[in-house]
Amino acid sequence: MSSNRNSFSSSLGFILAAAGSAVGLGNIWRFPYLAAKDGGGLFLVVYIVLALTFGFTLLFSEIAIGRKTKQSSLTAYGKLNKGFGWLGGFSVIVPFLILPYYCIIGGWVLKYAVAFISGQGIAAAGDGYFGSFITSKLPPIIFDVIFLAATAFVVFRGVNKGIEALSKILMPILFILVIGIAIFSVTINSPETGRSGLEGLKLYFVPSVEGLTAKKFLVVVMDAMGQLFYSISVAMGIMVTYGSYCKDNENMIRSVNRIEFFDTIVAILAGVMIIPAVYVFMGKEGMTGGPGLMFVAIPKVFQQMGGIGQVIGAIFFIMVLFAALTSSISVLEAVVAGIMDKFGVSRKKATVIETVIALAIGIIICFGYNYFYFEITLPNGAAAQILDIVDYISNNILMPVVAIGTCILIGWVVKPKTAIEEATKNGETFARKWLYIIMVKVVAPVLLAVLLLGSFGII
């Protein structure tokens, strides 16, 4: 099956597709909040250090596994070592759980994009607008269906005509929009509040160590690692799958470096887009994480900008929509590729099957805000309903388990040389070879174990 397997047609196509997966909602609605909360520049420094070490290790390992086995994650782990076939199953459960609710949130983004494009931005910024939308019966499902259908259409078309072709169009546009909005955000001034975008930029980039203790620094490290963990799309089968489409003559090390660079730059620029603007109109206390930032705080910022806010708001939500779409495509592809490799079915059939299942689960999650509403407290102390529970299981439990398993497999079972030899088989130089070995064998699994224990509220 691997002999006639589809491949990305070029290194650029692979990098843009993988970067498109990595650049998603997490970069936009969580990174700026954590940076504002964790000392601005201090968080950035910690994040960049972790990206160059911890993030690189996980990203490199998964892409190497995929390219070596020419299989998606469901079957790749078992092909490397039969005793780790279970890990492939765990890795595909993650995107299977994530896809339904990610498309629901993508539908929310689409709803706001439509609102601002159609001139309803002021209404979208109103108190209760977001809450009334997600608790309504039919509208969230309609937008979910549209977003899921767009995702499925791209995956249905395949690796080259679908994923790669769209990534080559959307990712450059996304990058241009991010830079444009970031520049605009920095130049904002408000006579009413007396604050400027440049002051917000200073808040973002200048490290704040006031009141910093060892315990608080550990929180910063854990926040940065948790953000990085799912920002680069590891431990969910995506990078193994995309790695399996990477040609053997491509410089894998260089590609991994560029994916890592692209994701980090967009994450940092997301902070430049959001923190100065929110600071100008709402102060530092206006920074929140998750949906509260994207669908409540940001629309209020656009509202206070006046007429130009309607235009900037439309551009912003189109940008977020592109980021969400490129990520959801990769999530669906991880599941579809697994079905194809495991059961030998066609891409079209696998896509239809998974799309129907994702829609059914998505409808149940949507009803979690009305018909099926209930609330529980998660082990980490957060209040949750259906969407939050699914997110917690996939992101806080399964993903660390998959990542730890990957480190054990590469670090101790098949040994780091398996990944290193795959990456250097064309004579490439691996400058971070010894750092990688230390990270994959010891440092990364220890950090992941700490992250997993933190998810259970143990530390």
Report, as an integer, the average pLDDT of 33-46. 92
User: Tell me, what's the pLDDT at 4?
Assistant: 62
Residue, of 212 and 424, whose pLDDT is higher: 424
The percent of residues in the chain predicted with pLDDT above 90, rounded, is: 85
Report, as an integer, the average pLDDT of 375-403. 93
Helix (H) or strand (E) holding 107: helix 85-117
Question: Is the pLDDT confidence value at 189 over 70?
Answer: yes
**CA 458 to mean position of chain CA atoms:** 25
pTM, rounded to two decimals: 0.96
User: Tell me, what's the pLDDT at 3?
Assistant: 47
What single letter denotes the amino acid at residue 204?
A: Y
User: Tell me, what's the pLDDT at 2?
Assistant: 44
Residue corresponding to tokens 């660079």: 261
User: Tell me, what's the pLDDT at 321?
Assistant: 97
User: Tell me, what's the pLDDT at 286?
Assistant: 82
* Three-class DSSP category at 15: helix
Tens digit of each residue's pLDDT (9 = 90 or more) over 59-115: 999 999 999 999 999 999 999 999 999 999 999 999 999 999 999 999 999 999 999
* Three-class DSSP category at 425: coil
Closest CA to 304 of 117, 122, 119, 116: 122
The beta strand positions in 285-407, using DSSP E, are 376-377, 383-384
User: Tell me, what's the pLDDT at 1?
Assistant: 40
194 φ/ψ angles, rounded to the nearest 5 degrees: 75, 15
pLDDT band at 315 (very low <50, low <70, confident <90, very high): very high
Contact 3, 242 (CB under 8 A): no
Kindly give, in sequence order, each residue whose CB lies less than 8 Å from that of residue 348, ignoring residues fewer than 6 positions away: 156
Give me 449's structure tokens: 């174990």
Whole-angstrom distance, CA of residue 65 vs CA of residue 84: 13
Mean pLDDT of the residues in the chain: 94
User: Tell me, what's the pLDDT at 306?
Assistant: 85
Whole-angstrom distance, CA of residue 156 vs CA of residue 234: 23
User: Tell me, what's the pLDDT at 185?
Assistant: 95
User: Tell me, what's the pLDDT at 419?
Assistant: 98
User: Tell me, what's the pLDDT at 455?
Assistant: 86
Report, as an integer, the average pLDDT of 443-453. 94
What single letter denotes the amino acid at residue 58?
A: L
